[in-house]
Amino acid sequence: MQNLRIRTGKAMLYQPATNQITPSVYPVPTPGDGEILVRVTCCTLCGSDLHTYTGRRKENNGPSLLGHEIIGVIEAIGGNEVRNDYDGAPLRLGQRITWSMVVSCGNCFFCKRGISQKCEMKYKYGHDSWSGVPTGGLAEHCLLRANTPIFSIPDGLSDEVVAPVNCATATVFAASRLVEETHRIQGSKVLIWGAGMLGLTAIARVRDSGGVPYVVEPDQNRWGIARCFGAEGCVDPTDRTGMLEMSTAITRGRGFDISFDFSGVTDAIQQSISIIRIGGCINLVGSVFPAESVSLDPEDIVRRMLTIRGLHNYRPDDLACAIKFLERTSSQYPFESLVSETFCLEDTEKAFQFALEHQPIRVAVKGEV
């Protein structure tokens, strides 16, 4: 006799009408050819999840499944063909993995021009309207599409350390890759705006590349952790005098070589343009929500020969570099301390509220705590 009992899983859905998170049950999907069913073990809440939750960023009108900084283990692989990870190693059941948040086609105008994260047919995990199929981190499962770049997680890295890798860490590696197309981080004085997950990771990345990172962060409670990640100095963005004194002392008033903005704050970007040296580079990363415009004086850009670049999301090769970086440096920098609180899946709403109230670097939601 056929067993008609359908296995179900639980998803915690964001409801834009009420700004609440409510549970929903789905039938556990059977992966089709090339698809992979993952059991989610850990999902950290990214700043963009918080922006969606507070209504600052509009994703969808209906309920949606958020969470894209995901780690999980392979529960089922669809089809008969062997699926390999990004490095070409065969994937097996029970293996701990993460994957590229953006899935791209590899063939369109943008994919062929090296910006596959802007693929004309891109798909992003953790951003979908709820369709009954789990495709985000705030559920017990996540169904991966056949063309998703998948990455095996080294044993030495805990879920909490590695969960942010497929958003924050990989984005930092994409940003630094872009800067290094025109400038050298090694030997440069680098100004980093914002000491959140991306800023702290960037501090370590710059230090690791032989640059000297300085951080601009209004929350002085974060200065200590910024120093642990390698910041040479910290300054408050409202302290204009302190900023100029720092620039004078460190760069003889020429200005910083490179600036990364992870804050998305208009005033910070305006200041970073004025404090960069002739021929310097400004990389904008944090402006992923509407903000006031920055005023640009074209003559100033020309005469000071500035490079201003924007970076959104990342490519699979950035994620590969990010995982290797964490594997190599996780004992050197206190990544472990960045997840301050862990909640079980049922308490996802509490996790969001805790994140908004206490502004920790990250909170984690785990399937089994």
Question: What whole-number distance in Å separates Cα of residue 180 and Cα of residue 185?
Answer: 7
In the numeric block, which tokens belong to residue 166?
């497929």
Q: Is 271 in the site for Zn ion (CB under 5 A)?
A: no
Distance CA 143, CA 120 (A): 22
Q: Is 105 a residue that touches Zn ion (CB under 5 A)?
A: yes
* Window 294-323: residues binding Zn ion (CB under 5 A): none
Tell me the window of 34-42, 87-95, 116-124, 315-323 that interacts with Zn ion (CB under 5 A): 116-124
Smallest distance from Zn ion to CB 44, Å: 9
For the segment 124-183, give every residue that binds Zn ion (CB under 5 A).
Answer: 167
State yes or no: residue 104 binds Zn ion (CB under 5 A). Answer: yes
Rounded Cα gap, residues 337 and 333, in angstroms: 9
Q: How far is the CB of 117 from Zn ion (least distance, A)?
A: 10
How many residues line the site for Zn ion (CB under 5 A)? 8
Among 5-13, 23-31, 111-119, 318-326, the segment contacting Zn ion (CB under 5 A)? 111-119
Considering the rule CB under 5 A, would residue 287 count as an interface residue with Zn ion? no
E strand intervals along 212-338? 212-216, 233-235, 256-261, 276-284, 307-310
List C-alpha distances in Å: 30 to 8, 75, 90, 131, 149: 11, 10, 20, 15, 20
> Is 115 among the residues that bind Zn ion (CB under 5 A)?
no
In the structure encoding, which two tokens stand for residue 20, read together?
Answer: 């609440």
DSSP three-state, residue 7: coil
- Residue 288 touching Zn ion (CB under 5 A): no
CB of 170 to Zn ion, least distance (A): 10
Q: Pick from 259, 138, 253, 143: which is nearest to 191 by CA?
A: 259
Pairing outcome for strands 123-124 and 128-129:
unpaired
Q: Which residue from 11, 40, 45, 46 is in contact with Zn ion, where contact means CB under 5 A?
A: 46
Q: Which of 168, 173, 191, 338 is nearest to 261 (CA)?
A: 191
Specify the stretch interacting with Zn ion by CB under 5 A; choose among 29-37, 47-55, 131-139, 185-193.
47-55
Residue 351 as a binder of Zn ion (CB under 5 A): the answer is no
Task: Using the minimum distance from each CB to Zn ion, give the nearer residue, 256 or 335.
Answer: 335
Residues within the interface to Zn ion (CB under 5 A): 46, 48, 104-105, 108, 111, 119, 167
